[in-house]
Amino acid sequence: MQEITERSSGIVLFREDGNKKLFLLLHYPSGHWDFVKGRIEKNEQLKEAALRESKEETGITDIEFIDGFEEKIQYTYQYGGKRVRKEVIFFLAKTKTKDVTLSDEHLDHVWLEYDDAFSKTTYQNAKDLLSKSKKLVFAS
């Protein structure tokens, strides 16, 4: 089976609501709940790709990256008879925007507090990202 490599960039995005910290999860058509992410385009830097994907997928553009968080996850999946080895670099970022304008790439979205977001994320790698973000989020 032919194998191809894909690189994407994403954001673990959160906002404050009073003293609560809420994380944005997107509902993907395949059924899972995950963070904003998408392919890096030619000549695009990692954070540029993450910002573009956030704008395209959620309409959110006021994004403030949190220093000290750059996490890489890797996984493989099958698509069109090919094995795809995917690498996604995630950043942590804060927004003041509550309203989300979903693209047609997603079915729904939700803002959740940490424990609920942890429970709702589908894959272990997303749970690990959320867990790694916790210290920085609650220090901000």
- The predicted pLDDT at position 140 comes to 61
Task: Report the pLDDT averaged over residues 2-17.
Answer: 96
User: What's the mean per-residue pLDDT of the chain?
Assistant: 95
Euclidean distance between CA atoms 45 and 100, whole angstroms: 24
Using a 10 angstrom Cβ sphere, with 0-12 exposed, 13-18 middle and 19 or more buried, the burial of residue 42 is exposed
Residue 21 has pLDDT above 70, yes or no: yes
Q: Residue 130: which of 18, 7, 19, 23 has the closest Cα? A: 23
Write down the domain spans for the chain.
3-139
Which of the listed CATH numbers 3.90.79.10, 3.90.25.10, 1.20.1440.130, 3.40.50.300 matches domain 3-139?
A: 3.90.79.10
Q: Report the percent of the chain where pLDDT is more than 90.
A: 92
* Cβ contact 3:85 at 8 Å: yes
Euclidean distance between CA atoms 121 and 57, whole angstroms: 17
**Using 50, 70 and 90 to split pLDDT, how confident is the model at 54?**
very high
pTM: 0.93
